[in-house]
Amino acid sequence: MARLGAGTRKRADGTLEKRFTIDGKRYSVYGKNAKEISQKEQEIRKKIEAGIYTDNRNITLDGYFDEWLNGKRRSIKGNTIKWYATYYQGHISPCLGNVKLQKIERRQVLSFQKGLSEGELSIRTCNNIMKILKIILKDAVTDEIIMKNPAEGIKALKEVNAKAAETYHRALTEQEQKDFMQEMAGDYYYEFVAFLLCTGMRFGEAAALTWSDIDYKQNVIHVTKTATFNEDNTRTTGTPKSEAGIRDIPLNDTIKAILTKQRKKQSIVISIDKAENRVFVSVYGKMVDNCNVEMDNLKIVL
């Protein structure tokens, strides 16, 4: 095992702690490896030098969230960062952001959850917001800013609506699929939707698909990426969430016919970015966006 640097020790949970002193005052940082704790130490030193560092006793939830999110940028995707920031800034910060971390009590968290449930948000959204708060507070315990997570053990809200299978997640019957596609005939996104139905691919996977992913020699479609968002809300491509998402889908004659029609359709899109080599693009030549497709098909349903 490599020798730990001065002031560094390995804790019981396997993480590293480094203690250092600045102007006679002791500070501690925690991380999974030497590189991480070194980065955190340098960040603290820079903040102290700039006069903007807040010690554990005075740091608010907002203050900790900024540090926490900055640390997460090194290990998670931009789309997840955007999701964390949106829910936190829209719901958690207005209620608890100005409260000092060490002053947050369990009853405040319960009151916050109750307030969420009494608003216009869905139960699922309320639970997602609470999930983020719990993660933040759990990491604050790990960073030894607070001794105990005040949200620990608080149960998620129960959904009392009908089962998803009976509502919006119900699969279309074969006849419903035929009726829908018949109504959609002539729509710009017809081939895109037909492709989804025939391959079972997710929307983001099909949107990110390039012509080089279509392997006519092996007669398969190579699924290796998906459409996602950057933190600044711009569209991009990234890897699937799990290794199971990387797979090959067999090409049959029906799918080949759809792709042939799509090739011809692309010739009418003037502003298409040929460098991206995408199989499916919007009417503006950009990556297909689910909002555009849903609005187009909403008109058909109506």
Closest CA to 20 of 47, 50, 42: 42
> Is the pLDDT assigned to residue 300 strictly greater than 50?
no
Mean of pLDDT over the chain: 85
- The pLDDT score that the predictor gives to residue 137 is 96
pLDDT tens-digit series, residues 32-73: 888 888 888 898 888 888 877 777 778 999 999 998 998 888
- The pLDDT score that the predictor gives to residue 299 is 43
Residue 169 lies in a domain: no
**Tokens standing for residue 247:** 């797979």
**Confidence band, pLDDT 50/70/90 cuts, at residue 168:** low
Domain range spanning residue 18?
A: 1-53
Residue 3 lies in a domain: yes
Q: Higher-confidence residue: 111 or 270?
A: 111
Burial (CB count <10 Å: 0-12, 13-18, 19+), residue 150: buried
Burial (CB count <10 Å: 0-12, 13-18, 19+), residue 186: exposed
What single DSSP character describes residue 91? Answer: I
> Is the pLDDT assigned to residue 252 strictly greater than 60?
yes
CATH number at residue 158: 1.10.150.130
Instruction: Output the DSSP codes for 153-195.
Output: TPPPPPP-S--GGGTTTPPPPHHHHHHHHHHHTT-TTHHHHHH
Domain end point (choices 131, 162, 193): 162
Domain end point (choices 162, 182, 208): 162
Residue 185 lies in a domain: yes
Both 118 and 87 in a single domain? yes
pLDDT tens-digit series, residues 83-136: 899 999 999 999 999 999 999 999 999 999 999 999 999 999 999 999 999 999
Both 113 and 206 in a single domain? no
Residue 48 lies in a domain: yes
